[in-house]
Amino acid sequence: MNNVKKLSSLLIFAEVANKQSFTLAAKKLAMSKSAISQHIKRLEADAGQQLLSRNTRGMSLTAAGEKLLSRCELLRDQVEFAYDELTLSKEEPSGVFAIRTPHSFEKSIIIPTLKQLCLEFPLLQIKLQVVDKPMDLIENNLDVSIYGGTLEDSNYRALPLGSATEVFCASPSYIQKKSSLSAIEDLHQHQVIAAPWQKKTLNVYNNNNLVDEQSIKLTYFAQTNTLPSVLELISQDMGIALLPEFVIDSAIAKGDLVRVLPHHQGRQWPFYMVHRFHGEKPIHVTRFYQLVNHFFTQSNRQ
């Protein structure tokens, strides 16, 4: 017999028995007196015996009621303990928090986020994987992942972070040594370095008309599987790359890189935080999303 549905009646019985009053129990539980009475009647009917003895002087417990009350009080304590643990875990998250992020988010977004998150929740143990290739959350025991591009269908939840535009960049020394670069077609005379997500055909847009798409097929001078290696290659005067603007803003501000073909841009990439939690998220996951959103927005403003 499935007795799960009777749990509420058992807890109500414990309250009535301790208060020795339907009225006081109803007030404590924020229920009507008639609803309380119905629960007790059903419980006695299911038990096949009387649990409460009612008379003009009030009520008392029968022998069966006394025995059941001790069980119900243990049950009530277990329920309260379970909720106390939930509340405590919500207020003070602990344990491993596993995250996957692409390299583009690592330095200016994820690291500042984790620094603040760990100040707020010092019991967390961070497990960070910096990988440009997407990883399945369940297969890799991840809690959250930063994802760029069109989302694939899945049972995971996705929260938007915003979008980032790709721009062409190179080192000042490379530009000084090479031929002029004023039109998209001029890329054929240059050493173009491919980021991990880029194919042989690049889709390029005019800044003033983002609907007007122009495709250019390239033979890359170099290809690599991580963003840091692309940045290092162009920093060493080895070519031109098309990279998210927020990734190179600080290098451009310092003069280490320059933007080329400034009237053109690549794709505008949407970014998301993907997580595996259904229903209400743990408080540290919600806070992580808030912080990532903050630092991502900040990076795009620079």
Q: Where are the domains of the chain?
A: 4-91, 95-163+269-301, 165-267
**d(C-alpha 68, C-alpha 213), whole Å:** 75
Q: Does this chain's domain 4-91 share its CATH topology with 165-267?
A: no
Rounded alpha-carbon distances, angstroms, from residue 139 to 64, 93, 142, 146, 276: 52, 23, 8, 16, 11
The mean pLDDT values, 10 residues at a time, for the chain of 302 residues are 76 86 87 89 87 79 85 76 63 89 92 93 95 90 92 83 92 88 88 91 80 84 92 95 91 92 89 89 90 85 60
The architecture that CATH gives domain 4-91 is Orthogonal Bundle (1.10)
**Per-residue model confidence (pLDDT) at position 14:** 86
**Per-residue model confidence (pLDDT) at position 56:** 67
What lies within 8 Å, CB to CB, of 147 at 6+ separation is: 134, 158, 271, 272, 273, 274
- The CATH number of domain 95-163+269-301, selected from 3.40.50.920, 3.40.190.10, 1.20.1260.10, 3.30.70.360: 3.40.190.10
Neighbours of 230 (CB within 10 A): 26
Task: Spell out the CATH class of 165-267.
Answer: alpha beta
Residue 150, Cβ density class (10 Å: 0-12 exposed, 13-18 middle, ≥19 buried): exposed
Look up residue 18 and give its two tokens. 């301790």
Q: What predicted TM-score, i.e. pTM, was given to this entire model?
A: 0.66
Look up residue 246 and give its two tokens. 């927020």
Residue 119, Cβ density class (10 Å: 0-12 exposed, 13-18 middle, ≥19 buried): exposed
